């Protein structure tokens, strides 16, 4: 599966949680701090790189807060290799 | 009966229910929607008629129908809704059936905003529809007064077979004040003899405003004018404060009058001789009393939440005082802005200083 | 921590350029925003931003013209279809669309809407059906469901007093001037994607000059329904769809052929 990530415009977000509900990987949570509108905005919390860039969150977002990125195909192996190298270097 | 804290729109609705309103037809529009919502509950609870119509055009024609059938009927809306209702109101006036209309004014023109204003004064007092007629227009300044005027409105509408307006604004509609509601008036169940109930054992009744021959229509119009004269002779209402020693009278209605009242109090504490003249019936306008006050040498300072609409009625009333140059000053805010007492006081002080400094009376603005 | 560089990742989704950067006044979970986004995406894809004109209605969507980068106007309550008629006839090259709620379109504006369809006016109507009057605080709408409690039907909508909810997509499909009438829902991702396709077809119908097009979108109003956005979207699925079935109610032949051509083009 290709790796993906999202950027959420937390100032625009109204904390409706539709993205969190739509995410099949369960990597969207509400932030601990309020934004300047008084909402708890959605944020990506993806320590295990589970996001695939499926963009379902962006599809359901009523406010167009979400930009979705996906790795260009063929780079998955490079990513895994870099991750393994990092783990060896810090072990 | 004891006082309770009531929201203006709800108070007016409940007062109507207790005054024996049998049918309500309306449409949502800010800032009066709570009136419709209250009716949707109470009228249904009491097994009376309630319907949220598809539009204000439909609503006023339903009011016309209910009035033609002899029911005590009302509707409520705001400026854009009155504009839509104007055709229906003209039909109601021409057919001489009674109806009560509540207009809770908002900022205009057009969609405007939902803040309080007095921008519908001209629309409602002049004719509020095509042709020669005037509805009776009552303008409360407090929620208690609004409650009291609702019952009066139904009675006057039936007495004269005419349209009676309660002209309020968004501040009165939305605010809460302690007020007392009247007891529930039982429904009489009777219908007037002219109403459409089915011509059993009597000649048929026709409710119409169509009079094809010019002489026929002129006769109708003369009847309407006679009726309006009678209303003018008998139904003028106003309130006066500190008239006797006042050199300057603030003239204002509704929420603007409350602001003016505070300004009068503050200015008097500062030693200035000012008073308040508050029309309660905007049509018939208290022109005779104003003319009398002008002859006593008073000046007039008109405060409104519009560009100066009642101002013209004041000028006309006072202008009948032949040979006198009566100072009439105007201060107004538009767009839904409520003037503050300090602003009004400032304007009056500036003008009085100017007047006293120049030692000449300002001529009326032409 | 391994992250990807700009060359290693591509943008899969971003805000349409046809939308401004303004933050909307809509409530959290309100589908007005969803519909705006979908229309914005379609405007981008068709490249018609500079010739599109929006007619905003009265209701929550009164401020729609702050959210689209197109010429726009504010119509009187219910009269958007009439205003759109005139704007389209002023310059038929403009793509004219309205954005209306159920009070605006199906109550006070039903005559204007019906006659625009009857005349086959070449305009596109985006119809937000959320079963209440939103902006004025949740009164009953012509689309409120039987038994639904609203602020002006506090005991629940009673068929004996106020009749049945209006099914606008079906009603307008019955008129010969209508080229495209469809009902979609915005309650989940799958249906939102379908709704976008329908909006695209509606705009195609206008571009091809085929007649009146309307996309009815079942939408949430969490605030006036007294629900969270997630509860609200489930309410659409469980209560609105059974009464308002989704689907195409009218697709004229020429439009079917156009849809087929586009499908073939896009699949290579």
Say which CATH number the domain at A21 has: 3.30.70.20
Name the pLDDT band for A19 (thresholds 50, 70, 90). Answer: very high
pLDDT, position A79: 61
According to DSSP, the residues that pair with C61 across neighbouring strands are none
- Comparing CA positions, the residue from C93, C109, C105, C82 lying closest to residue C53 is C93
Q: Give yes or no for a contact between B304 and B139, defined as CB atoms under 8 angstroms apart.
A: no
Cα-Cα-Cα-Cα dihedral sign, residues C81, C83, C85, C91 = negative
Residues of B in contact with C142 (CB under 8 A): 54
Peptide bond into B31 cis (omega under 30): yes
Does A2 contact chain C (CB < 8 Å)? no
Nearest CA in chain C to A69: C11
Q: Give yes or no for a contact between C95 and C48, defined as CB atoms under 8 angstroms apart.
A: yes
Pairing mode, strands B99-105 and B163-169:
parallel
According to DSSP, the residues that pair with C214 across neighbouring strands are C125, C181
Tokens of B3: 């006082």
The greatest distance separating any two alpha carbons of chain B, rounded to the nearest whole angstrom, comes to 77
Q: What is the H or E stretch that residue B52 is in? A: strand B49-52
Which residue among C74, C77, C151 sits closest to B80, beta carbon to beta carbon?
C77
Interface test with A, best of C3, C7, C9, C231 (most A CBs within 10 A): C9
Does A58 contact chain C (CB < 8 Å)? yes
Distance from CA of B6 to the nearest CA of C (A): 18
Tokens of C68: 């689209």
Check pLDDT > 60 for residue A59.
Answer: yes
pTM for the whole structure: 0.90
On whether ipTM exceeds 0.90, the answer is yes
Q: Give yes or no for a contact between A7 and A64, defined as CB atoms under 8 angstroms apart.
A: no
Q: Give yes or no for a contact between B173 and B288, defined as CB atoms under 8 angstroms apart.
A: no
Cα-Cα-Cα-Cα dihedral sign, residues B1, B2, B3, B4 = negative
Tokens of C28: 């959290």
Q: How many other C-beta atoms lie within 10 A of the C-beta of residue B245?
A: 9
Nearest CA in chain A to C2: A83
Q: How many other C-beta atoms lie within 10 A of the C-beta of residue B361?
A: 13
| Cα–Cα distance list, C109 to B300, C56, C242 (Å) | 46, 13, 25
Q: Residue C32 belongs to a domain with what CATH number?
A: 3.40.50.970
φ, ψ of residue B360 in degrees (nearest 5):
-140, 150
Q: Give yes or no for a contact between B14 and B40, defined as CB atoms under 8 angstroms apart.
A: no
Interface test with A, best of C1, C15, C225 (most A CBs within 10 A): C15
- Comparing CA positions, the residue from B301, B304, B303, B315 lying closest to residue B351 is B301
pLDDT, position A82: 66
Interface test with C, best of B7, B27, B38, B45 (most C CBs within 10 A): B27
Residues of A in contact with C36 (CB under 8 A): 64
| Cα–Cα distance list, C236 to B282, C212, C217, C231 (Å) | 50, 26, 11, 9
Number of H helices, E strands in chain A: 3, 4
Residue C2 in any domain: the answer is no
Distance from CA of C264 to the nearest CA of B (A): 45
Q: Is B168 helix (H, G, I), strand (E, B) or coil?
A: strand
Which residue among A17, A18, A64 sits closest to C37, beta carbon to beta carbon?
A64
According to DSSP, the residues that pair with C140 across neighbouring strands are C132
Q: Give yes or no for a contact between C244 and C184, defined as CB atoms under 8 angstroms apart.
A: no
Tokens of C165: 């909810």
- Comparing CA positions, the residue from B281, B269, B278, B363 lying closest to residue B324 is B363
- Comparing CA positions, the residue from C28, C43, C82, C9 lying closest to residue C200 is C43
Place of tokens 């959210």: C67
Q: Which residue stretches of chain C have pLDDT < 70?
A: 1-7
User: In B88-127, which positions are buried (b, 16+ CB within 10 angstroms) versus exposed (e)?
Assistant: bbbbbbbbbbbbbbbbbbbbbeebbebbbbbbbbbbbbbb
pLDDT, position B322: 60
Pairing mode, strands B281-283 and B274-279:
unpaired
Angle between helices B254-269 and B341-358 (to 10 degrees): 60
How many CB contacts within 8 angstroms connect chain A with chain C? 100
C113/C218 Cα distance (integer angstroms): 18
C9/A72 CB distance under 8 A? yes
B184/B186 Cα distance (integer angstroms): 6
Q: How large is the average pLDDT for residues A53-74?
A: 93
According to DSSP, the residues that pair with B332 across neighbouring strands are B304
User: For residue range C129-175, what is the model confidence (pLDDT) as tens digits?
Assistant: 999 999 999 999 999 999 999 999 999 999 999 999 999 999 999 99
Nearest CA in chain C to B26: C152
Nearest CA in chain C to A89: C1
Domain that holds residue A33: 4-90
Cα-Cα-Cα-Cα dihedral sign, residues C118, C119, C125, C131 = negative
Nearest CA in chain A to C7: A72
Question: What structural domains does chain B harbor?
Answer: 4-234 (3.40.50.970), 238-358 (3.40.50.920)
Which residue among A18, A55, A79 sits closest to C13, beta carbon to beta carbon?
A55
3-state secondary structure C172-237: HHCCCCEEEEEEEECCCHHHHHHHHHHHHHHHHHHHCCCCEEEEEEECCCHHHHCCCHHHHHHHHH
A68/A78 Cα distance (integer angstroms): 20
The number of domains in chain C is 1
A68/C11 CB distance under 8 A? yes
- Comparing CA positions, the residue from A57, A61, A67, A59 lying closest to residue C192 is A59
Residues of B in contact with C135 (CB under 8 A): 30
pLDDT, position B188: 87
Q: How many other C-beta atoms lie within 10 A of the C-beta of residue C105?
A: 32
pLDDT, position B128: 85
Q: How many other C-beta atoms lie within 10 A of the C-beta of residue C69?
A: 17
Tokens of B43: 């009228």
Domain that holds residue C114: 24-266
According to DSSP, the residues that pair with B301 across neighbouring strands are B250, B329
Tokens of A16: 């409706």
Distance from CA of A50 to the nearest CA of C (A): 13
Which residue among A12, A37, A69 sits closest to C9, beta carbon to beta carbon?
A69
Q: Is B361 helix (H, G, I), strand (E, B) or coil?
A: coil
The number of domains in chain A is 1
**Cβ-Cβ contacts under 8 Å for B276 (sequence gap 6 or more):** B239, B240, B241, B242, B249, B250, B251, B252, B257, B260, B261, B264
pLDDT, position C150: 97
Q: Which residue stretches of chain B have pLDDT < 50?
A: 358-366
Does C227 contact chain A (CB < 8 Å)? no
Residue C214 in any domain: the answer is yes
pLDDT, position B363: 40
């Amino acid at each position: 599966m290709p790796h993906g990530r999202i950027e959420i415009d937390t100032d625009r977000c109204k904390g409706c949680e539709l993205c969190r509900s739509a995410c099949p990987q369960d990597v969207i949570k509400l932030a601990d701090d309020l934004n300047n509108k008084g909402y708890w905005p959605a944020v990506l919390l993806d320590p295990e790189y589970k996001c695939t860039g499926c963009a379902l969150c962006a599809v359901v977002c009523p406010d167009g807060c979400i930009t979705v990125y996906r790795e260009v195909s063929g780079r998955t192996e490079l990513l895994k290799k870099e991750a393994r190298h990092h783990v060896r270097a810090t072990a | 009966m004891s006082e309770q804290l009531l929201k203006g729109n709800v108070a007016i609705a409940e007062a109507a229910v207790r005054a024996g309103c049998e049918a309500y037809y309306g449409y949502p529009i800010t800032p009066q929607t709570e009136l419709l919502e209250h009716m949707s509950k109470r009228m249904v609870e009491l097994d009376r008629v309630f319907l949220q119509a598809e539009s204000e055009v439909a609503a006023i024609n339903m009011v016309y129908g209910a009035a033609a059938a002899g029911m005590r009927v009302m509707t409520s809306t705001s400026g854009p809704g009155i504009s839509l209702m104007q055709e229906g109101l003209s039909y109601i006036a021409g057919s001489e059936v009674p109806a009560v209309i509540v207009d809770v004014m908002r900022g205009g023109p057009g969609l405007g905003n939902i803040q309080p204003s007095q921008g519908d004064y001209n629309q409602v007092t002049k004719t509020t529809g095509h042709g020669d007629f005037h509805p009776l227009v009552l303008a409360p300044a407090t929620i208690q007064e609004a409650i009291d005027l609702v019952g009066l409105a139904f009675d006057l509408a039936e007495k004269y077979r005419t349209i009676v307006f309660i002209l309020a604004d968004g501040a009165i509609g939305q605010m809460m004040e302690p007020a007392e509601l009247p007891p529930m008036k039982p429904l009489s169940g009777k219908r007037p003899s002219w109403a459409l109930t089915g011509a059993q054992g009597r000649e048929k009744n026709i409710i119409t405003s169509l009079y094809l021959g010019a002489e026929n229509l002129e006769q109708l119009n003369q009847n309407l004018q006679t009726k309006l004269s009678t209303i003018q002779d008998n139904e003028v209402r106003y309130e006066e404060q500190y008239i006797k020693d006042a050199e300057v009278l603030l003239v204002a209605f509704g929420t603007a009058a409350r602001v003016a009242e505070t300004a009068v109090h503050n200015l008097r504490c500062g030693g200035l001789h000012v008073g308040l003249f508050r029309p309660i019936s905007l049509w018939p306008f208290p022109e005779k009393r104003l003319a009398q006050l002008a002859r006593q040498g008073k000046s007039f300072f008109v405060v409104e939440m519009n560009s100066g609409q009642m101002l013209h009625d004041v000028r006309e009333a006072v202008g009948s005082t032949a040979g006198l140059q009566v100072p009439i000053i105007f201060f107004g805010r538009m767009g839904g802005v409520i003037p503050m007492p300090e602003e009004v006081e400032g304007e009056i002080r500036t003008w009085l200083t100017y007047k006293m400094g120049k030692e000449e009376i300002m001529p009326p603005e032409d | 921590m391994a992250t990807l560089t700009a060359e290693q990742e591509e943008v899969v989704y971003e805000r349409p350029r046809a939308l401004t950067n303004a933050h909307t006044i809509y409530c959290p979970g309100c589908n007005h925003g969803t519909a705006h986004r979908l229309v914005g995406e379609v405007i981008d894809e068709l490249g018609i931003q500079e010739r599109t004109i929006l007619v905003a209605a009265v209701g929550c969507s009164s401020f729609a013209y702050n959210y689209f980068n197109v010429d726009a106007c504010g119509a009187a309550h219910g009269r958007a279809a009439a205003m759109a008629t005139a704007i389209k006839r002023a310059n038929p090259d403009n793509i004219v669309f309205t954005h209306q709620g159920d009070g605006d379109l199906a109550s006070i504006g039903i005559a204007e809407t019906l006659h625009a369809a009857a005349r086959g006016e070449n305009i596109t109507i985006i119809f937000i059906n959320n079963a209440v009057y939103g902006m004025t605080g949740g009164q009953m709408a012509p689309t409120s469901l039987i038994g639904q409690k609203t602020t002006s039907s506090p005991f629940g909508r009673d068929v004996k007093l106020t009749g049945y909810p209006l099914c606008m997509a079906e009603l307008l499909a019955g008129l010969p001037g209508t080229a495209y009438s469809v009902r979609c829902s915005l309650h989940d991702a799958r249906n939102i994607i379908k709704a976008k396709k329908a909006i695209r077809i509606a705009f195609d119908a206008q571009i091809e000059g085929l007649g009146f097009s309307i996309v009815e979108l079942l939408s949430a109003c969490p605030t006036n329904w007294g629900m969270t956005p997630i509860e609200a979207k489930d309410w659409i699925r469980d209560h609105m769809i059974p009464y308002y079935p989704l689907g195409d109610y009218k697709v004229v032949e020429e439009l079917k052929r156009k849809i087929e051509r586009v499908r073939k083009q896009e699949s290579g």
